[in-house]
Amino acid sequence: MSGRKVTKDRVEMPAQDPKCRICNWNQVETGISLADAKKEAGRCLQDGARKCESGCPVGIPIHSMLEFVEKGWMRRAANLVREHNLLLAITSLVCPQTEQCEAACLIAKSKNPAVAIGNVERAIYEWERDNGGPQIPTLLPENGKCVAIVGSGPAGLTAAAFLRVYGYRVVIFEALHVAGGVLMYGIPEFRLPKAVVQGEVDYILSFGGIELVKNTFISKRFTVEELKREFDAIYFASGAGKPIPLGIPGEDLFGVLTANEWLTRVNLLHGNLAEYETHLPDFKNIVIFGGGNVAMDSVRSGKRVITERVRGMLEETSSTIAYRRSKELMPARVQEVHHAEEEDVAIQGQVSPIRILSEDGKRVSGVECVRTELGEPDASGRRRPVEVAGSNFILPADLVVTALGNKPNPAVINQMEGVRVGRGGNVCVDKEGRTSVPGLFAGGDLGRGGATVILATGDGKSAALAIHKWLSKETPWPTPEEWKPIT
Amino acid sequence: MDKTIRELIQEPCGVITAKRQLAPLIYELTVYAPAIVHNAEPGQFVIVYARDGRSKPIPLTIADFDKQAGTITLVIQAVKVGTIKLLTMNAGETFFALQGPAGHASEIESFRGAIVVVAGGVGIAPVYPVIRALKEAGNEVEAILGAREEKFLFWEEKIREYSDSVTVCIEKPPFKKGREEGLVTPSLEKAFLARRPISHVFAAGPLPMLRALSAITKNRGVKNVSSAVAQMIDGTGMCAGCKCNVGTESVLLCQKGPEIDGNLADWENLGVRLNGYRKQEDEALEIFKANDPLYKVFLEQEEAFAKGGVQ
């Protein structure tokens, strides 16, 4: 297959017109055709280095995937991806491909656009969806052992599926009334349709032998101690659900919401729709603090809610992202920032909030902010924002959403007796998801303290294998000296 | 009959087994929820999604539980769309979702000194298991119950069973013999005049009442444990919508509460946050009353009660 030439004409992902899409909740990116997917897949140089694959946290054999698509072997392509990544539909939509596989693409090294691997992956999913759906992998016969999984987000779902493949019965405990975790309550419909997530949940449950128990917050309804008594192993994947506050005066005013609350009220409880009982605050000027995907999701959801409310008369409204570092340093996916700007979101870099203001002492009316300069790099390697004295100004706001990230919920960790906890409040795990306590595995954001869907998926997969090796007595639990935490 | 987790998860959770009207607009539901009863303790709450995926999460303190029968008791007042719709559900029906137990259990021990428990309105329900636990821990318990009118009072007998004395305060006439006329606050003041020392005041009820009580306990330097309510979504600490200032701390009611130190609570801010959606709620209620057939069902239910007395 070698000897191919570098081509520049990447098939671009078509998107809804910005003016149109802020009036609906449909997916912004509309997907590429099968013919385009084949064409794009054909751009892969199929060189021996397979650099892109080293950029993939779950190790999808991307070159083979692209080759299959190019040849039109779509079922083989779908099955190949699902062998490595059971959440194909989800990751194709939310993976930061531009920083992972596509960043490592050999074509990109020659300053040409990388193969649009994510877009091809999405085309595979759409073909699969329209052609009988995903196939259930070969499942080993049940071995009589049962594993408890805490949390039904990407890490928990993936671990459950792979454990079932290895022959285990699985019980997944989910605190909310729907499965999917952050995929359901966090990421909005226009980026990740809830039907896609539900489809993947239903697919995994259709394996048989995996039980989903909703409305069950482990630590309260059942304790970790009780789980230990009844299950052969436990995988904790309860995510990072404790929002980090701004820590400034006025954060307790009505109209200041965490991104978790704001997105849950919109995505999960549909507060924007009249026939649903949940409400949203009245607002015309929304300000989000933060620069990650959650901040982008929050502001763009806000934009759509305002547009519905004012019936498109957007003149007297505003949607603003305020981030304390520069715009270029925002951790959000490139596409999300681009889409937000297209949707007329004002992105203000180097802005830090000082206090939240209220005219009546009850509701938020604005935020006093200060400009920042970028100083020396901090522990994260990013340049630290330093406040510029006297640069204070006021951002008008009647809805403030804080999207500064999340830490793991301490409630469940407090019951994981003897487990080592990291400085960020995360559970320390080794690369196989083993904690410092035999029989307790953990991963996803609970181990990482706020990362990506694909990393959580990778965690779930490696933990499933580690659980299998431990329960089948293939690999003994590491001694304290052997245990090498990576988080 | 201690069941295992594996058994409990096979059981239904959230089936209404009995529904009884206690007073106008106030109902008592017995709900089969063995998985919740399993670890439930006084002071904890549940979150109900009543009818379907359009329902809002409603936090409700567990008013009683029966570990043998696997049931919890909820006392609910019909106030807004969510609670009215919930209360049109009948025995045999199952909630769309029921989460819990959530929150921190009441911290009950054998205290030095008497305990005064003050409850107003539907706040009488959540204090019942607390009173029972206080009594079972060997405390002297004095209960002060408040109701707007005699007809809104409920569970007086249940409370008497575990209290050393009960004072009932009624705001509006007609007054029955033996009732105190007016608010609960003078009765709390009076309780302090008795010679024995009071170690704690436990309180549950409407925010203005809790606030007024805290002024008294603060003044007297007596510990005040108040059961507060807030807007809640998940009840696990994720949304932080139930945050509340207690002294210099910002606590989540779903984690450290619903019982908080009433002497340190910022009642004003709690009120602002609790009532922030009032405009939207009132509008939704008007639309519901005008358009939803369930409202007619509810009115008929109330009418039947008015005619027939306690069902």
CATH number of the domain that A349 lies in?
Answer: 3.50.50.60
Cβ B38–A215 below 8 Å, yes or no? Answer: no
Strands B223-227 and B141-147: unpaired
Residue B253: C-alpha distances to residues A64, A174, B22, B233 (Å): 52, 21, 28, 12
Q: Which of A130, A156, A175 is the last residue of a domain?
A: A130
CB within 8 Å: A281 and B85 = no
| Separation between Cα atoms, residue A86 and residue A99, nearest integer Å | 21
Buried b (16+ CB within 10 A) or exposed e, A277-303: bbbbbebbbbbbbbbbbbbbbbbbbbb
* A456 dihedral zone (left: phi>0; alpha: psi -120 to 50; beta): alpha
B260 bridge partner residues: B226
Q: Both tokens of residue A147?
A: 């594993």
* 8 Å CB contact of A213 and B9: yes
Amino acid identity at A217: F
State the pLDDT at residue A313. Answer: 83
Question: Which tokens go with A264?
Answer: 């849950």
User: By CA distance, what is B244's nearest residue in A?
Assistant: A252
Place of tokens 């807030």: B230
Q: Where are the alpha helices (DSSP H) in chain B?
A: 5-8, 34-37, 81-86, 124-136, 156-161, 185-193, 207-220, 267-274, 278-291, 293-308
> Structural domain of residue A334, as residue ranges?
245-404
pLDDT tens figures, A90-131:
999 989 888 899 999 999 888 899 999 999 999 999 999 999
Task: Give B311: exposed, middle or buried? Use CB within 10 Å, 0-12, 13-18, 19+.
Answer: exposed
How far apart CA B35 and CA B70 sit, in angstroms, is 8
Q: Which of A465, A460, A451, A462 is nearest to A100 (CA)?
A: A451
pLDDT single digits (tens) A65-89: 999 999 999 999 999 999 999 999 9
% of chain A with per-residue pLDDT over 90: 87
pLDDT tens for chain B, 311 residues long, are 578 999 999 999 999 999 999 999 999 999 999 999 999 999 999 999 999 989 999 999 999 999 999 999 999 999 999 999 999 999 999 999 999 999 999 999 999 999 999 999 999 999 999 999 999 999 999 999 999 999 999 999 999 999 999 999 999 999 999 999 999 999 999 998 887 899 999 999 999 999 999 999 999 999 999 999 899 999 999 999 999 999 999 999 999 999 999 999 999 999 999 999 999 999 999 999 999 999 999 999 999 888 875 44
Same domain? For A98 and A215 the reply is no
For B7, name the nearest residue in chain A, comparing CA atoms only.
A230
CB contact under 8 A, B280 and A254: no
CA distance B258 to B60: 10
Cα of B273 to nearest chain A Cα, Å: 5
Mean pLDDT across the stretch A13-42? Answer: 95
Interface contacts (A, B; CB < 8 Å): 123
Bridge partners of B32, per DSSP, are B15, B71
Interface of B with A in 217-276 (CB under 8 A): 233-241, 243, 245, 250, 255, 266, 269, 272-273, 276
Asked if the structure places residue A435 within a domain, the reply is yes
Beta carbons within 8 Å of A381's beta carbon, 6+ residues apart: none
CB contact under 8 A, B273 and A279: no
How confident is the model at residue A361, as a pLDDT? 93
- Of A335, A220, A348, the C-alpha closest to B98 is A220
What Cα–Cα distance (Å) separates residue B162 from each residue in B134, B184, B200?
Answer: 9, 20, 17
Q: Are residues A209 and A277 in the same domain?
A: no
B10 in reach of chain A (CB within 8 A):
no
pLDDT in the model for residue B305: 84
Asked if residues A219 and A226 have their Cβ atoms less than 8 Å apart, the reply is: no
A309 vs A23: CA distance, rounded Å: 10
Question: Does residue A476 fall inside a structural domain?
Answer: no
What is the rounded CA–CA span in Å between residue B232 and residue A278? 11
Q: How far is CA A74 from CA A32, A66, A222, B38, in A?
A: 14, 10, 44, 50
> Which of chain B's residues have a Cβ under 8 Å away from the Cβ of A274?
287
Residue A177 and residue A46 share a domain: no
Residue A182 is which amino acid? V
- Cβ burial, residue A379 (10 Å; 0-12/13-18/19+): exposed
- What secondary structure does DSSP assign to B15-83, as a single string? EEEEEEEEETTEEEEEEE-HHHHTT--TT-EEEEE-SSTTPPPEEEE--EEETTTTEEEEEEE--SHHH
The answer to the question of residue A7 being in a domain is no
User: Are A250 and A386 contained in the same domain?
Assistant: yes
Residue A42: pLDDT above 50? yes
Per the CB < 8 Å rule, is A254 touching B276?
yes
Q: Give A355's strand partners.
A: A368
Q: Which residues of B touch A261 (CB under 8 A)?
A: 233, 239-241
Q: ω before B206 within 30° of 0 (cis)?
A: no
Q: How far apart are CA B59 and CA B61, in angstroms?
A: 7
Tell me whether strands A366-377 and A393-396 are parallel, antiparallel or unpaired.
Answer: antiparallel
pLDDT value at position A180? Answer: 95
Report which of residues A312 and B220 the model is more confident about: B220
Q: What mean pLDDT value characterizes chain A?
A: 94
**Do A446 and A458 share a structural domain?**
yes
CA distance A242 to chain B (A): 5
Tens digit of each residue's pLDDT (9 = 90 or more) over B166-177: 999 999 999 999
Main-chain phi, psi angles of A75, to 5 degrees:
-60, -40
**Residue B8 CB neighbours (<10 A):** 22
Contacts of A276 in chain B (CB under 8 A): 54, 56
**Domain endpoint, select from A404, A423, A448:** A404
B-chain residues near A226 (CB < 8 A): 5
Closest Cβ–Cβ partner in A216, A230, A254 for B273: A254
Number of domains in chain A: 3
Spatial distance between the Cα atoms of B223 and B202, rounded to a whole number of angstroms: 8
Phi and psi torsions of B228, nearest 5°: -100, 160
Is the CA virtual torsion A122, A127, A132, A136 positive or negative? negative
Residue A45 in tokens: 């140089």
For residues A72 and A122, state if they share a domain: yes
* CB atoms near residue A148 (< 10 Å): 24
Contact residues on chain A for B285, CB-CB shorter than 8 A: none
CA B246 to chain centre: 20
Give the pLDDT confidence score for residue B194 in this predicted structure. 82
The shortest CB-CB distance from A175 to any of B5, B236, B245 is to B236
Domains and CATH numbers, chain B: 5-102 (2.40.30.10), 114-274 (3.40.50.80)
A388 is a domain residue: yes
**DSSP reduced 3-state for B97:** strand
A258 shares its domain with A370: yes
The pLDDT score that the predictor gives to residue B308 is 72
| A277 and A195 within one domain | no
Regarding whether A420 and A373 lie in a shared domain, the answer is no
- Alpha carbon B136 to its chain centroid, in Å, reads 20
- Asked, for residue A452, whether it belongs to a domain, the answer is yes
> Cβ A277–B255 below 8 Å, yes or no?
no
Measured between CA atoms, how close is B122 to chain A, in angstroms? 22
Contact at CB, B35 and A176, closer than 8 angstroms: no
Tokens in use for B112? 């030095």
Q: Are residues A48 and A116 in the same domain?
A: yes
Within this chain, do residues A413 and A281 fall inside the same structural domain, yes or no?
no
Q: Do A255 and A306 fall into the same domain? A: yes
Residue A290 located in a structural domain: yes
In a domain, A486, yes or no: no
Whole-angstrom Cα distance, residue B56 to residue B235? 13
Q: What is the ipTM of this complex?
A: 0.94
In a domain, A3, yes or no: no
Which pTM was predicted? 0.94
Six token digits for residue B281: 């709620």
Q: Are B170 and B191 in contact (CB under 8 A)?
A: no
Contacts of B272 in chain A (CB under 8 A): 253-254, 361-363
Separation of alpha carbons A362 and A254, rounded Å: 6
